[in-house]
Amino acid sequence: MRASDFETAVRDLGFGKTLPTAVYVYAPTSEALTPALQAVIDRLRLRLKLDESYNVLKFSKDFSVSFLRYPLFFENPHPVLAESVRVNLATGTAKHITYDRHANPPILHRKERFLPAGHPSIPLFARLTSQEEQAQLYEKPSTIGFKANWEKLLIEKGLAYRDHELIQVQHDTPASPRSIERVHRHRTALTRTQLSKPLRQALESGVLCSTKTLFDYGCGLGTDANMLRTMGYTVGAWDPAYFPDDPKVHADVVNLGYVLNVIEDPAERVEVLVEAWSYTRDVLIVSTLIAGNEEYDSVRHLSDGILTKRNTFQKYFSPTEIRGLIESALEVEAYPLSVGIYVAFRDERNAQSFLSQRSHRVIDWAQLNHRLGLPAPRKRAEAVDLYQQHKELLDEFWNASLDLGRLPHEGEFQRCVELRRALGSRAKAHRLLLERFGEETYFAACQSRKEDLLVYLATSQLRKRIPPKALGFRLQADLISHFGSYSKAQADGQALLLSLRNNEVLHAAAQTLSFGWWNSPEGHFSIHRSLIDDLPPSLRVFLECAAHLYGSPRNADVIKLHLNSHKVTFLSYDDFDRKPFPILQSRTKIDLPRLSINVFESPNTAMAPILCCKERFLNTDYPGYKRMQEVSRRLSMLLGVQASNLGPNDENAPSQLKLAAIMKQLGLKADLTKLRKRKSSPEG
């Protein structure tokens, strides 16, 4: 089924709860659906083994369908979501989320709208909705879609349910987790000497720049705000403990940094998230602690988290849990900058610009031409004179053309008026520059940019479907220039993504490369982050599919591509560049078929395995490459085995303790060279 046919079939349903982004229907079977949708739903239920307990269907405008399991749909006034299986109809991939252990799962309202016309339960459900409207329970729609928030509101209003009837009751005010246990939220504020990781990531990715204002919601001691102000940024900051009297302000970028994980009340987390979003003009940054990073020795359980010995609360989210919370509460898609750090955009065009820019490589074309040995083009004397007269202007125009892989439009090059005055037209300037620098360089730039766009288009198939009007001007111009049309661009991206189902495509791409470490028996291919841009499009897409859950791959030191099992592991080491044998700090494994993520923190102990032969994952021009080779040669002689056969995070690699003992016994330094004995001074 094509996306346009899907939209038409959903429109023709004739019933369901319609929201801006989706239509929800009660359909434990496909009986009430249109024939076109019946065929799709029956086929998916059979393939995914989904029975009638998945009783609510969500038809999304992004060309996806979700099977939602709401137990006791008819008995519970507001059924609680237990499971969700979302299927991307463009790729066929399915994402499964369970809510059984969530302290604050989503709930349903206005059940009568989910049912087909004439259903006998519609009058009962509609009467309850009318009572709830009269009681003014729907005044804050942004928070009432969660169980804990709804129950908190009922208590505040003195209301409860008798079957499907809203009744007035006298509630005993329940003790919040904070009042039962004295929780000191302010003690979680840290004294730091550098910017926090979320804001470093925001700066590196371009989400935050000097032209944008920032509001740090829950700023703690205000370290980030003070540092950014020193750098010339316009920053507002507020914290309930340290800066309670400072105003909450609207800003282009709002940072909610490690705030939600110190709030012990699940309902309050939603309220804080929604309030931070209300101050956001462009992008909200949300960061939390992630399960797998726990470092506390003695803790007690409180609510859905832990209480430390200092009486501070910490909630460790799973990556899917925090992402789901953001998307459910704000009704926009959340994108990872890193594990546990997400951004949500107000404007879809800015979101797509951010995503396309992430796959845009920055290439030094002059250096590349020299390295490839491209011959210098012959230049006409007239062209040389004209170029020399306007060298600065033309160089700027040439660099813009290479960056875009096409001629810049009027609004994309600020000096267009000056260029026309000097050369007559953009086309004439372009011809002169081709004579000056050669067609090979320009065509290589066009091909490079087209590959970048293909990577973006392929991975965009994993996200919601974006109509052309939701793309920024530059991205629209890119797609038209390089593919001819938006539909052709989408088709090419989808074809590239679907080709990765064939393991032979991935193996062939890896085996042609002159860099990286290839473990043929295991089907693993590992590289250092410095080589990401040198991968062919198929492997870049494979990696970017994992980045859809992990964030920027450049946050890791070594990346292992499991080409047989379609998994990606991101490995971070302790000072990879400077230490001869770095120790693994964290390992994040992405399972692409299941769209799942697992984070493993390695204890920094003497028993941790070392990373051997770092140069295997690097290119030969990497700084210190030859020195690394020499250290690896010495290690192999020392161990009596070929150290280059030991993979990253290999359990057969010697531990830090074992290597240190051998080095001490033999009198070796960290780089495995002999220690020099100090000369004793003569007695005088």
pLDDT in tens, 460-509: 887 777 778 878 889 999 999 999 999 899 999 999 999 998 999 999 99
Cα separation values, 269 from 154, 262, 325, Å: 18, 9, 9
Measured CA angle at 542 (ends 539, 544), to 5 deg: 110
Q: Which of 95-109, 149-163, 370-384 has the lowest mean pLDDT?
A: 370-384
Q: Which of 211-215, 225-229, 367-371, 387-391 has the lowest mean pLDDT?
A: 367-371
| pLDDT value of position 470 | 79
Global pTM value:
0.81
| pLDDT value of position 170 | 76
pLDDT score of 386 more than 90: no
| pLDDT value of position 631 | 85
208/115 same-domain check: no
Residue 248 lies in a domain: yes
424/512 same-domain check: no
Tokens coding 372 = 């490839």
Residue 419 lies in a domain: yes
Per the CB < 8 A criterion, the answer to whether 517 and 615 are in contact is no
pLDDT score of 336 more than 90: yes
Cα separation values, 322 from 343, 413, 676, Å: 12, 40, 54
Per the model's pLDDT, the better-predicted residue between 521 and 31 turns out to be: 31
pLDDT score of 121 more than 60: yes
| pLDDT value of position 601 | 78
381/338 same-domain check: no
Domain boundary among 139, 165, 194: 139
Provide mean pLDDT across the span 585-589.
Answer: 89
Measured CA angle at 67 (ends 66, 69), to 5 deg: 135
Q: How confident is the model at residue 282 (pLDDT cuts 50, 70, 90)?
A: very high
111/195 same-domain check: no
Nearest to 415 by CA among 402, 404, 399: 399
Per the CB < 8 A criterion, the answer to whether 193 and 229 are in contact is no
Nearest to 246 by CA among 268, 226, 261, 227: 226
pLDDT score of 203 more than 50: yes
Residue 356 lies in a domain: no
Provide mean pLDDT across the span 510-517.
Answer: 90
Domain boundary among 331, 346, 361: 346
521/612 same-domain check: yes
Q: How confident is the model at residue 215 (pLDDT cuts 50, 70, 90)?
A: very high
Domain enclosing residue 595, as ranges? 500-678
Per the CB < 8 A criterion, the answer to whether 476 and 485 are in contact is no
Strands 159-162 and 94-98: unpaired
Long-range contacts of 449-452 (CB under 8 A, 24+ apart): 449/360, 449/403, 449/404, 449/405, 449/406, 449/478, 449/482, 450/405, 450/482, 450/483, 451/537, 451/540, 452/356, 452/359, 452/360, 452/361
Q: How confident is the model at residue 533 (pLDDT cuts 50, 70, 90)?
A: very high
Q: Which of 3-17, 100-114, 359-373, 436-450 has the lowest mean pLDDT?
A: 359-373
Residue 333 lies in a domain: yes
Provide mean pLDDT across the span 239-262.
Answer: 94
pLDDT digits (tens, 9 = 90+) for 658-677: 777 877 777 777 666 664 54
Per the CB < 8 A criterion, the answer to whether 149 and 267 are in contact is yes
Tokens coding 45 = 């239920």
Residue 487 lies in a domain: no
Query: Residue 384: helix, strand or coil by DSSP?
Result: helix
Nearest to 358 by CA among 506, 548, 209, 493: 548
Q: How many CA atoms lie within 13 A of 437 on its CB side?
A: 25
User: From the CB of residue 635, how many other CB atoms can be counted at a distance below 10 Å?
Assistant: 24
pLDDT score of 237 more than 90: yes
Tokens coding 563 = 């080409």
Q: How confident is the model at residue 642 (pLDDT cuts 50, 70, 90)?
A: low
Phi, psi of 134 (to 5 degrees): -65, -30
| pLDDT value of position 372 | 46
Which of 229-238, 428-437, 643-652 is predicted most confidently? 229-238
pLDDT score of 683 more than 50: no
317/392 same-domain check: no
User: Number of structural domains, the chain?
Assistant: 4
Listing DSSP states for 197-212 in one string gives HHHHHHHHHTSS-TTS
pLDDT digits (tens, 9 = 90+) for 57-93: 999 988 899 999 999 999 999 999 999 999 988 878 8
Provide mean pLDDT across the span 380-396.
Answer: 78
- DSSP code at position 173: P
Q: How confident is the model at residue 295 (pLDDT cuts 50, 70, 90)?
A: low
316/405 same-domain check: no
| pLDDT value of position 92 | 81
Provide mean pLDDT across the span 18-26.
Answer: 91
Instruction: Give me the sheet containing 558-562, strands edge to edge.
Output: 517-519, 524-528, 558-562, 567-573, 584-591, 596-601
190/334 same-domain check: yes
Containing 275, the helix (H) or strand (E) segment is helix 266-278
Residue 151 lies in a domain: no
Nearest to 335 by CA among 355, 350, 359, 309: 355
91/208 same-domain check: no
pLDDT score of 454 more than 60: yes
Q: How confident is the model at residue 304 (pLDDT cuts 50, 70, 90)?
A: confident
Distance CA 478, CA 322 (A): 34
| pLDDT value of position 276 | 97
Residue 170 lies in a domain: no
Per the model's pLDDT, the better-predicted residue between 608 and 379 turns out to be: 608
pLDDT score of 552 more than 50: yes
Residue 359 lies in a domain: no
342/379 same-domain check: no
Per the model's pLDDT, the better-predicted residue between 464 and 442 turns out to be: 442
Phi, psi of 361 (to 5 degrees): -80, 145
Kindly report the CATH number assigned to the domain that includes residue 327: 3.40.50.150
592/520 same-domain check: yes
| pLDDT value of position 652 | 65
Q: What percent of the chain has pLDDT over 90?
A: 50
Per the model's pLDDT, the better-predicted residue between 311 and 446 turns out to be: 446
pLDDT score of 684 more than 50: no
- DSSP code at position 463: S
Q: Which of 358-362, 394-398, 418-422, 613-617 has the lowest mean pLDDT?
A: 358-362
Provide mean pLDDT across the span 562-579.
Answer: 91
| pLDDT value of position 312 | 81
pLDDT score of 146 more than 50: yes
Provide mean pLDDT across the span 105-128.
Answer: 95
Q: Which residue has the tokens 């003690």?
A: 187
| pLDDT value of position 677 | 46
Q: Which of 307-316, 448-457, 504-513 has the lowest mean pLDDT?
A: 307-316
| pLDDT value of position 641 | 59
Q: How confident is the model at residue 554 (pLDDT cuts 50, 70, 90)?
A: very high
592/504 same-domain check: yes
| pLDDT value of position 462 | 77
Q: How confident is the model at residue 202 (pLDDT cuts 50, 70, 90)?
A: very high
Nearest to 316 by CA among 255, 240, 276, 264: 264
